[in-house]
C-alpha cells in the first residue's frame, strides 16, 4: 500500500452472493467509523459494478486507460474524493457511468494495485474495501497486495447466501485472512403497523449457516425501504437518518469492528 495508507487497518467487505448489501454496509460502516473520530478511506474495488459513486452522488470523468498509461509514464498520483468526512476512491470515478470495464486481465490486475498504491490516501486509521461478490481473481489479487486486518462477510438470511458465503470463508481461510465476523443484512422487515419483524426470506438453519461455521454475528440489519431510497439519492442512511435503527446498528457494528481489530 501507499506510504501512510500502509498503517491503516484494511477491512475487506465480502460476500458469496451478489446484491446482499456489501456496498451499503461498506459505506455506512465507514461513516460510523469516521463518526468515532477515525480517519477512514473507502475503496470501491468492485471493478465490474462500482456502486459507491452512485451512493454518494459523485462522478468523475478521468478515463481509466489514460490514468493507467499516465502512471506508466510517471504521471501524478490520484487524489481521493472527500465526501461525508470519508476519503473515497472508486473505479467508477475513473470510467464513465455507462461504460463497462473491459480491460485485458494484466491491466485489470495492475489497476487494483494502482488503486491501492497510487491514491494519496494520506494517514488513515481504517481503509474499508468494498469487493465484488464471489471468489474470483480480484479477491485473490487483493489478498496478495494488502495485509488485511480482516474481512467482514455479508450474508442475507436465506440459505443460498450462507452456502455461497461458505465458499468465501474457505477462500479467506486458505489465504490466511482473519474473519472478523459477519453481517446479516435484509434480516426481516418491520411491519409498518405493529413493528413486528416479518421474515421476507426463509431463514437458513443454524447448521447450514455461516454462524454454525464459527463466524461471529456482528450485526443484523433489517430490510428498510429507506435504505434503498437513501442509497439511490446519494445520501447514505447513516447520514440521512442518523438517529434511526440502521444508524444505531452501524454504530454497534463499528464498535465491534474496532474491538476485533484492536484485539489482534
Ligand X SMILES: Nc1ncnc2c1ncn2[C@@H]1O[C@H](COP(=O)(O)OP(=O)(O)OP(=O)(O)O)[C@@H](O)[C@H]1O
User: Taking CB under 6 A as the rule, does residue 18 contact ligand X?
Assistant: yes
Size of the site for Mg ion (CB under 5 A): 3
User: Residue 123 CB: number of other CB atoms within 10 A?
Assistant: 10
Size of the site for ligand X (CB under 6 A): 21
Contacts of residue 119, defined as CB under 8 A and 6 or more positions apart, other chains included, come to 2, 5, 43, 77, 78, 79, 80, 89
The option from ligand X, Mg ion, none interacting with 228 (CB < 5 to 8 A, set by class) reads ligand X
Strands 217-223, 9-14: pairing is unpaired
User: Taking CB under 6 A as the rule, does residue 164 contact ligand X?
Assistant: no
CB of 40 to ligand X, least distance (A): 18
Site for ligand X in 210-229 (CB under 6 A): 221, 223-224, 227-228
User: Taking CB under 6 A as the rule, does residue 15 contact ligand X?
Assistant: yes
User: Taking CB under 5 A as the rule, does residue 51 contact Mg ion?
Assistant: yes
Which of these segments, 18-26, 73-81, 161-169, 197-205, binds ligand X (CB under 6 A)?
A: 18-26
Give 218 or 221: the residue with its C-beta nearer to ligand X: 221
Measured CA to CA, the distance from residue 19 to residue 162 in angstroms comes to 13
Which of these segments, 20-28, 82-90, 93-101, 151-159, binds Mg ion (CB under 5 A)?
A: 20-28
User: Taking CB under 5 A as the rule, does residue 22 contact Mg ion?
Assistant: yes
CB of 27 to Mg ion, least distance (A): 10
Query: All 3 cell numbers of residue 211?
Result: 454462524
Contacts of residue 78, defined as CB under 8 A and 6 or more positions apart, other chains included, come to 67, 89, 115, 118, 119, 120
DSSP state of 125: S
Measured CA to CA, the distance from residue 126 to residue 128 in angstroms comes to 6
Measured CA to CA, the distance from residue 236 to residue 68 in angstroms comes to 30
Nearest-5° Cα angle at 251, 211 to 257: 50
Query: What are the beta bridge partners of residue 203?
Result: none
* Identified binder of ligand X from the candidate list 51, 118, 164, 184, rule CB under 6 A: 51
DSSP state of 196: P
Site for ligand X in 86-105 (CB under 6 A): none
CB of 204 to Mg ion, least distance (A): 21
Interface pattern 167-196 for ligand X (x via CB under 6 A): ------------------xx----------
* Helix (H), strand (E) counts: the chain: 10, 9
* Footprint of ligand X (CB under 6 A): 15, 18-24, 46, 49, 51, 132-133, 185-186, 221, 223-224, 227-228, 231
* Footprint of Mg ion (CB under 5 A): 22-23, 51
Amino acid at each position: 500500500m501507499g506510504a501512510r495508507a500502509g498503517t491503516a487497518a484494511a477491512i475487506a467487505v465480502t460476500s458469496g452472493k451478489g446484491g446482499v448489501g456489501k456496498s451499503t454496509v461498506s459505506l455506512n460502516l465507514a461513516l460510523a467509523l469516521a463518526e468515532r473520530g477515525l480517519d477512514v478511506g473507502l475503496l470501491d474495488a468492485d471493478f465490474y459494478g462500482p456502486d459507491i459513486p452512485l451512493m454518494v452522488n459523485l462522478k468523475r470523468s478521468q478515463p481509466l486507460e489514460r490514468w493507467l498509461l499516465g502512471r506508466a509514464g510517471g504521471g501524478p498520483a490520484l487524489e481521493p474524493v472527500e465526501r461525508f468526512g470519508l476519503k473515497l476512491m472508486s473505479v467508477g470515478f475513473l470510467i464513465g457511468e455507462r461504460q463497462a470495464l473491459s480491460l485485458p486481465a494484466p491491466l485489470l490486475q495492475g489497476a487494483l494495485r494502482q488503486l491501492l498504491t497510487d491514491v494519496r490516501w494520506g494517514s488513515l486509521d481504517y481503509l474499508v474495501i468494498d469487493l465484488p461478490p464471489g471468489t474470483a481473481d480480484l479477491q485473490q489479487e487483493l489478498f496478495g497486495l494488502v495485509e488485511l486486518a480482516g474481512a467482514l462477510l455479508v450474508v442475507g438470511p436465506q440459505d443460498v447466501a450462507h452456502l455461497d458465503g461458505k465458499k468465501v470463508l474457505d477462500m479467506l481461510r486458505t489465504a490466511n485472512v482473519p474473519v472478523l465476523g459477519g453481517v446479516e443484512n435484509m434480516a426481516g422487515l418491520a411491519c409498518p403497523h405493529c413493528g413486528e419483524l416479518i421474515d421476507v426470506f426463509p431463514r437458513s438453519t443454524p447448521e447450514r449457516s455461516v454462524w454454525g461455521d464459527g463466524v461471529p454475528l456482528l450485526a443484523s440489519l433489517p430490510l428498510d425501504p429507506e435504505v434503498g431510497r437513501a442509497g439511490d439519492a446519494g445520501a447514505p442512511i447513516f447520514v440521512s437518518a442518523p438517529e434511526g435503527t440502521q444508524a444505531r446498528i452501524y454504530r454497534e457494528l463499528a464498535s465491534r469492528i474496532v474491538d476485533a481489530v484492536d484485539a489482534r
